Amino acid sequence: QVTLRESGPALVKPTQTLTLTCTFSGFSLSTSGMSVSWIRQPPGKGLEWLALIDGGDDKQYRRSLRTRLTISKDTSKNQVVLTMTDMDPVDTATYFCARTTASPPNYYYDGMDVWGQGTTVTVSS
């Protein structure tokens, strides 16, 4: 069974750095076609993809947030970490991690097939 679980602070102050951890089980990032994405959703708004990392350590970022985001992985711990610098109240959102797959033979992405429950982050002084 594939599961993902997000963890991190519920409250951060403006200008601080947010660090979120996604702990997963039931699959390995070392398997071809496996990646993990981070997605966020501000209260009452839509979904916004943030970043992705695959087993080869290839990383992709949302263009508008590229300078503030860093995604990394610890394969031995089955964890993916997202850091976001210079937090602002507009970054208040529920943050999800999700397994993202790409299928043979071309390994085009299929989207996100399993999601974590999400963790809510509020940015306020």
Partner 1 sequence: DVQMTQSPSSLSASVGDRVTITCRASLGIRSDLSWYQQKSGKAPKRLIYAASTLQSGVPSRFRGSGSGTEFTLTISSLQPEDVATYYCLQHNSYPIFTFGPGTKVDLK
Alpha-carbon distance 4 to 100, whole Å? 12
Counted residue by residue, the chain has a size of 125
Work out the end-to-end distance of the chain between its first and last CA atoms, rounded to an integer number of angstroms: 40
Distance CA 34, CA 13 (A): 34
Q: Report the residue number, 63 or 105, with the smaller CB distance to partner 1.
A: 63
Q: How far is the CB of 109 from partner 1 (least distance, A)?
A: 4
Q: List the interface residues with partner 1, window 54-113 (CB under 8 A).
A: 60-63, 96, 108-113
Which residue is listed with tokens 């999700």? 98
Q: 23-62 mask for partner 1 (x: CB under 8 A)?
A: --------------x-x------xxxx--x-------xxx
Of 30 and 107, which CB lies nearer to partner 1 in the complex structure? 107
Measured from the CB atom, the residue of 24 and 61 that comes closer to partner 1 is: 61
> Hey, CA dihedral for 98, 109, 25, 69, is it positive or negative?
negative
- Note the residues at the interface with partner 1 (CB under 8 A): 37, 39, 46-49, 52, 60-63, 96, 108-113, 115-118
